[in-house]
Chain A
Amino acid sequence: MTNEPLLNIQGLRKAYPGVVANDDVSFAVGKGEVHALLGENGAGKSTLVKMVYGLVKPDIGTMTFDGAAYTPGSPHEARSTGVAMVFQHFSLFEALDVAENVALGMENPPPMGQLAARIREVSEEYGLPLDPNRLVGDLSAGERQRVEIIRCLLQDPKLLIMDEPTSVLTPQEVEILFQTLRQLQSEGTSILYISHKLEEIRALCDGATILRLGKVVGSCDPREKSARELAELMVGTELKTPTVASHDLGQVALSLTNLSVASSNPFGTSLKDVSLDVQAGEVLGIGGVAGNGQDELLGALSGELLSTPESVKFNGNPIGHLGPNERRTLGVLAAPEERLGHAAAPDMSLIENAALTANIRKNMVKNGFLDWGKAKAFAETVIKEFDVRTPGSGNAARALSGGNLQKFVIGREILQSPDVLVVNQPTWGVDASAAASIRQALLDLASEGAAIIVISQDLDELMEISGRFAALNEGRLSEPRCTIGLTIDEIGLMMGGAHGMEVAHTHQSEGAV
């Protein structure tokens, strides 16, 4: 590392109507440094890196890159200056092949034939094998990330920005990614690494800048701080861990037997032979990398995807052929991952969104006519009991913040007193305090005797609240195991290990499943 920083940011500010995303942000990334940008959801990390990548123009503030003033007007300029970025929500095109996707992210791509050869070469060099002719839609989440990384590497960037890169990887794949990043670092590339996962940052980064509510609240050498100290800097208050009340488990409430369902999305993952049992009072955690059948599993349990009657049983009765409303009548409820557009209709009011799933169990319909008074009362109960911050129940769902809408969605299902509740990514993109209260609410519901399935990509969350853990990998579910005593390595293998990137791991994973 030299004294002259590669990227120097001074006093950046970016405001959107009603919210200041970044305010007076300053920090520097040295040459060959791996610098962490740490912060909660909504802390302003994404806006900040978009400014560095030329997607968003700052209101005030200056940047210098390699000693020269840096004001990127577009990603094209950023790329020609030597900045490359791996997006959290990939900027990939499913119906195009790998080489075309790579070409789109380069300023002056070579002809396709040469490019394909370069992709092979570079991907082997960094231990990230890729076939340039495959359609991106057919790739796993980990492979898609490789496409993004290779796209960046082919341009010999001086600064590589990585936005939450590990959220789609198994622990084994994370290890391989880190090796790649260290290799890059040794070649002199600087890396701006965005994450809210503290252990990763401690393992990888040389320096860290911590953001809270758009402002820099501290900077440190993460290797010298404990994860707890970092977390408190990031969140600003002391963290509460949810309390698990011990209680006895009841009968098996929901059981899946060799459930196979085809995905409705051409690039989706079909479920293959999924079997599990959940007892009343139990929380079963289901982990796995995104895109391995999570949406399909939720659909098969909510009734949006139908299966053979016997493959899904509730209290011993076949329900695989029943639609969402028939399952709700019985007491099998669900909360999908996508809040806006699946769990809730964005432009509809919270009252209407309350009626969306609760009209049956809360008796809101008589002779086909909706009782809006009851719907309003129920919406207001949810708002009150789950501390949903909103000016009123008449507000549109899209006007709520992610955390508040998620509390509303989860609360809406919990207050219908389900016997079985299935949730997918209950705290995704939610701030820490909302996440904690959602987890606590799920645990409380279990202690009252409901059977709960939590599908999540956040392993810490699953370890914290579930009694047993299983993982989805390419549409198959591993044998559930007790969470106590489960090591991170074992979990990784259940999730599919390194997905064939390292031969030794795959053999073990076959054994573990």
Chain B
Amino acid sequence: MDLSSINPILLIASLMVASTPILLAAIGEMVAEKSGVLNLGVEGMMIVGAICGFATAVETGSPFIGFIAAAAGGAILSLIFGFLTQYLLSNQVATGLALTLFGLGLSSLMGQSYVGIKPPATEKLDIPLLSDIPAIGPMLFNHDIWVYVSLALVAAVWAFLKYTRGGLILRAVGESHDAAHALGYNVIFVRLAAIAFGGACAGLGGAYLSLVRVPQWTEGMTAGAGWIALAIVVFASWRAGRVLLGAYLFGGITVLQLNLQAAGVAIPVELLSMSPYLITILVLVIISSDRNRAALNAPASLGRAFHASH
């Protein structure tokens, strides 16, 4: 065992990288849930995003186009969910599960010929001056653009929900779709937009996995990241700032356990590799045990189908 082999600067830098896929997926899902839609298909949208992004980046040689394709792939897949739940009023839980199962199958199908290939590298932004600051520079300012995009998205979502009329309408729809409908808002349109945004974000998160974090394509490579993103939304009580906190916390645990494994700490490897899941469960328990607060923060129409009868 050699703990000194763990470099805190690299640890924090890799924490940011490890957190980004989940952060992207979680912030998107949070917007969808704020509009009253529970989409359990995050895992499926992520993995489809992962292969769409990977394949496109390999074919075009441009990781950027890959990310765009991933967002599009995730959004298209999410709109299947949107069509089923919003127009055909299918059960959101079941449809979300279907999305995950379908996404896992579809992605392996699409990824047949991409196993074992290396994708074109996503360049790091060498932010002048900032990245030269000792310690802090390599820690915070020596990442690829998508790390900063994810942070900007969190800020944008926060500001959108808090300060804009669109954000107010989105929250209103998630709170009571009947009242929003009575006031003349198009509940289905708002929800479809939120679902598509969630899908695009999940797609980006998946592409970040396959193009930057790993970077490689393997079947089922999301390994539960989508589910953890869902858990982080609950942990965050549907607040953007806390989504960031939750994602980085989770990323920290993942990176730390990987480092501990590498350092040969005398904890069984299996225990370390299951620790992110166990800690997620633990955090969920702590957050949800305060029933009143959990009920107050959750969008009141979350998961309920909307049908304007008259």
Whether B272 sits at the interface, judged by CB under 8 Å, is no
Which residues of chain B are near A104, meaning CB under 8 Å? Answer: 168-169, 172, 180, 183, 185
Highest count of chain A CB atoms <10 Å: which of B165, B183, B185, B310: B183
CB A243 to nearest CB in B, in angstroms, measures 38
A47 and B165 contact, Cβ closer than 8 Å, known pairs A91-B179, A93-B172, A96-B175: no
The CA-CA distance from A55 to B176 in the complex, in Å, is 17
- Chain B, residues 42-56, CB within 8 Å of chain A (1/0): the string is 000000000000000
The B-contacting residues of A in range 235-255, CB under 8 angstroms, are none
| Pairwise interchain contact A91-B182, C-beta atoms closer than 8 A | yes
Contacts of A90 in B (CB 8 A): 179
- The reply on B171 being an interface residue by CB < 8 A is yes
A95 and B299 CA atoms in complex are apart in Å by 8
Q: Are A100 and B179 in contact (CB under 8 A)?
A: no
| B184 with A55: CB separation less than 8 A | yes
What residue in chain B is nearest A21 (Cβ atoms)? B310
Smallest Cβ-Cβ distance to B297: which chain A residue: A95
Distance between A119 CB and nearest chain B CB, rounded to angstroms = 15
A58 interface residue (CB < 8 Å to B): no
Chain A 78-98 residues near chain B, CB threshold 8 A: 78-79, 87, 89-96
Give Cα A11 to B185, complex, Å.
28
Report whether A92 and B296 are in contact in the complex, using a CB–CB cutoff of 8 Å. Answer: no
- State in angstroms the CA–CA spacing of A109 and B168 once bound together: 12
Neighbouring A residues of B157 by C-beta, 8 Å: none
- Given the known A-B contacts A55-B182, A104-B169, A266-B292, are A94 and B310 also in contact in the complex, defined by CB atoms under 8 Å? no
A54-B184 Cα distance, complex, nearest whole Å: 8
For the complex, is B300 an interface residue (Cβ under 8 Å from A)?
A: yes
**Residues of chain B within 8 A of A109, CB atoms compared:** 165
Q: Using known A-B contacts A93-B175, A94-B175, determine if residue A74 contacts B184 with beta carbons closer than 8 Å.
A: yes
B80 touches A (CB below 8 Å): no
Q: A47-B310, A266-B295 are in contact. Are A103 and B168 (CB under 8 A)?
A: yes
Q: Does A197 contact B (CB under 8 A)?
A: no
Residue numbers in A under 8 Å from B296 (CB-CB):
95, 266
A93 touches B176 (CB 8 A): yes
Report B129 CB to chain A, min CB distance, Å. 38
Collect the chain A residues with CB atoms within 8 Å of residue B180's CB.
91, 93, 104
Question: Cβ of A91 and Cβ of B183 under 8 Å apart?
Answer: yes
Contact assessment for B182 and A87 in the assembled complex, using a CB-CB cutoff below 8 Å: yes
Task: Name the residue in B179, B181, B296 with the highest tally of chain A Cβ atoms < 10 Å from its Cβ.
Answer: B179
Least CB distance from A361 to B in Å reads 33
| Chain A binding surface, main DSSP class | loop
Decide: B184 and A75 in contact? CB cutoff 8 A. yes
User: Which residues on the A side are within 8 Å of B178 (C-beta)?
Assistant: 89, 91
Q: How large is the interface on A (under 10, 10 to 19, 20 to 34, 35 or more residues)?
A: 20 to 34
Contact B310 A92 (CB under 8 A): no
> Closest Cβ of chain B: how far from A16's Cβ, in Å?
7
Contact with B along A45-76 (1 / 0, CB 8 A): 00100100011100000000000000000111
What's the nearest-Cβ distance from chain A to residue B264, in Å? Answer: 50
Complex Cα distance, B166 from A109, in Å, reads 13
A56 to B184, CA, bound (A): 11
**Given known A75-B183, A94-B175, contact A55–B168 (CB-CB < 8 A):** no
Contact flag A55-B300 (CB < 8 Å), given A75-B183, A87-B182: no
Partner of A94, one of B165, B185, B300: B300
Q: A103-B165, A103-B168, A104-B169 are in contact. Are A56 and B183 (CB under 8 A)?
A: no
Instruction: Report chain B residues within 8 Å CB of A55.
Output: 181-182, 184, 310
Contacts of A291 in B (CB 8 A): none
* Complex Cα gap A92–B175 (Å): 9
Q: Could you tell me the distance between the alpha carbons of A90 and B176 in the complex, rounded to whole angstroms?
A: 11
- Say whether A105 faces chain B, with CB atoms less than 8 Å apart: yes
**Contact residues in A for B300 (Cβ distance below 8 Å):** 94-95
Q: Is the CB of B172 within 8 A of A96?
A: yes
A93 touches B310 (CB 8 A): no
A residues 139-176 touching B (CB-CB < 8 Å): none
Cβ–Cβ < 8 Å partners of A56 in chain B: 310
A347 to chain B, nearest CB (A): 14
Name the distance in Å between B251's Cβ and chain A's nearest Cβ: 30
**Residue pair B184, A94 in contact (C-beta under 8 Å):** no
Question: What separation, in Å, do the CA atoms of A103 and B165 have in the docked complex?
Answer: 9
A16 to B310 alpha-carbon distance, docked (Å): 9
A93 touches B184 (CB 8 A): no
Min Cβ gap A403→B in Å is: 19
Contact string against A for B residues 284-310, beta-carbon threshold 8 Å, 1 for contact and 0 otherwise: 000000001001100110000000001
Give the distance in Å from the alpha carbon of A103 to the alpha carbon of B180 in the complex.
12
Q: Which of A47, A50, A94, A103 contacts B176 (CB 8 A)?
A: A94
Chain A contacts for B295, CB-based, 8 A: 266
Question: Do the beta carbons of A92 and B179 come within 8 Å of each other?
Answer: yes
Nearest neighbor of B184 in chain A, beta-carbon distance: A75
Contacts of B168 in A (CB 8 A): 96, 100, 103-104
A50 touches B172 (CB 8 A): no
Residues of B124-161 contacting chain A, CB below 8 A: none
B182-203 near A? 1/0 per residue, CB < 8 Å: 1111000000000000000000
Name the distance in Å between B169's Cβ and chain A's nearest Cβ: 7
Which residue, B168, B184, B295, B299, has most C-beta atoms of chain A within 10 A? B184
Scoring A47, A94, A95 by chain B CB atoms within 10 A of each residue's CB, the highest score goes to A95
Which residue of chain B has its CB nearest to the CB of A135? B296
Q: Check if B183 sits within 8 Å of A105, measured CB to CB.
A: yes
Give min CB distance, A152 to chain B, whole Å. Answer: 12
Residues on the A chain within 8 Å of B184, using CB: 54-55, 74-76, 78-79
Tell me the A181-214 residues at the B interface (CB within 8 Å).
none
Q: How far is the CA of A423 from the CA of B173 in the complex (A)?
A: 34
- Rounded to whole Å, the gap between the CB of B180 and the closest CB of chain A is 8
CA distance A95 to B239 in the complex (A): 14
Distance in angstroms between the alpha carbons of A50 and B310 in the assembled complex: 9
Closest CB in chain B relative to A144 CB, distance in Å: 11
Contacts of B172 in A (CB 8 A): 93, 96, 100, 104
Task: Report the nearest A residue to B176, measured CB to CB.
Answer: A93
Give the docked Cα–Cα distance between A96 and B168 (Å). 9
Q: Residue-by-residue, is A313-352 near B (CB-CB < 8 Å gives 1, otherwise 0)?
A: 0000000000000000000000000000000000000000
A47 cross-chain contacts in B, Cβ below 8 A: 310
15 residue pairs of the A-B complex, CB under 8 angstroms, read A47-B310, A55-B310, A74-B184, A91-B176, A93-B171, A93-B172, A94-B176, A94-B300, A95-B171, A95-B299, A100-B168, A103-B168, A104-B172, A266-B292, A266-B296
Taking A55-B184, A94-B175, A266-B295 as known contacts, 15 extra A-B pairs with beta carbons closer than 8 A to each other, sorted by chain A number, are A55-B182, A55-B310, A74-B184, A89-B178, A90-B179, A91-B176, A91-B180, A92-B179, A93-B171, A94-B176, A96-B168, A100-B168, A104-B180, A104-B183, A105-B183
| Closest 3 pairs between A and B when the two form their complex, measured CB to CB | A75-B184, A91-B179, A91-B182
